[in-house]
Structure 1
Amino acid sequence: MLNNKKILVAGAAGLLGSSLVCRLLDEGAQVVAVDLEEARLLDRLSASGYSTNPGLTVCAMDIGRKADVVDFFSNTHGLDGAVNCAYPRNKQYGRGFFEVELEDFNDNVSMHLGSSFLFIQECARYFKRSQREFSLVNISSVYGVIPPKFEVYEGTPMTMPVEYAAIKSALIHLSKYVTTFVADSRFRSNCVSPGGIRDKQPEAFLSRYKSSCLGKGMLDIEDVLGTIVFLLSDQSRYVNGQNIVVDDGFTL
């Protein structure tokens, strides 16, 4: 679906990002994979057997550092789309609601939502400069759509961080904002909001989570990739400013 398209993946060393890079290469895309942790990214791609793929370019970029992001877009040509899988956060991230300090809340919102704003802004600038069709995919979450179902975390050390919910809900609106600001159907900005993705969570949590779904429960990474590929492809040419939820019915 992506033959002859050049796609940027930010946060490519993460669980979603590294799997997406492999899928995009399989779909025929040229992929520019960037991450702050370039060595970790190369290790993940090597383990998957994709590090030597001729369609792959790997480089380091701090998505929260303006100079890095501006420099990248200023010196890159031929991009047809981008996906932001980055998930920056500080060491205090993930505390319970009453344990979150204001400074940490502000820091995490700035790191994650702020870097997403910068990335979206530079994608829009790139389109204005290149006048080339461009599809941006932002990764939100079901918890950007509905409030947390705290009962699924009972009996586990897990919780739904308040910063995460605030960031992901704002990201959906920011994605729509840039769509109406640019106001050109050749520039598209959409969100994908996955449900929970399986990653060695406690069985008690997995069971409770599944009870709120329609059959599968927690998703595998591969369950999310097809929607991203669709939004990057010409099959979704006039899908713009939307948020596609992939959650096995969790939000119903």
Structure 2
Amino acid sequence: MGAKESSRVMDLYIQKLGRSLSGLGYETSGPPDHDLDREPGVKHPEWRISWFSLRSPIPEVNFALMAHLRRSSEGNIGISGNALLVSAAVEDILDELSYDSIDNFCGSVLDSIPFTYFETPQDMSQYIWVTGENGVDAGVREYMRLVDGPVSGWFSDRDDITKLLQLSGTARPNNVVDQVNPDPMRLRGSIVLAVLSGRGADAARVMAEYIGRGTFNNSDSREKARAFDAAMIRKFPVYEESRRAG
């Protein structure tokens, strides 16, 4: 399959996937973070990225899906996916805080996981491969099977503040480097989101427990955590009150 035909098949793939996802309430969207905003299909005709978004039960939070399509050297089309928990409101708050306290935070993305983690965690670079237009429907069905199944469950585990605060004290399962320490990105995002949702006391408690840990992720430290805590105290009186009381 030549480049022109591959491009047409990838466009068809995106159209059919969008229609299937719309049945679950997802809408086509842009990337959740500027760092993820590239130009597939123009500068890089061998791949495409499409984004889809659904409102979470938590205010100011969206469930996001990424579909990444690429053409192999043989002309086959592969698709992979990522699930993300995103909040522009959290990103806005973090932008206002001191830089040193958030230098390991990734924009609006609070948490993410590749679809392949659910079935091949030992190799999360796998794609669903199809050949030609006749294979597109099968590829879409496989993507949707994952969305309906494990991806939906992953989102359900993150659909309220209590669940997010509980997860914030754990390592990300797809972090092959550190399976022990909490993920700094998820922790900071959950703390901010809890305060925005009127759960300042709970946020302060989780932060105090985090600062008191003996070990940290290699991208974080007690000093960075304290800097973040201090920035939150300056920003939110309710958080300050809870931290002082705790």
TM-score, normalising length: structure 1: 0.24
Which structure's CA Rg is the greater one? 2
TM-score, normalising length: structure 2: 0.24
* Higher relative contact order, chain-length normalized (CA < 8 Å, sep 6+): 1
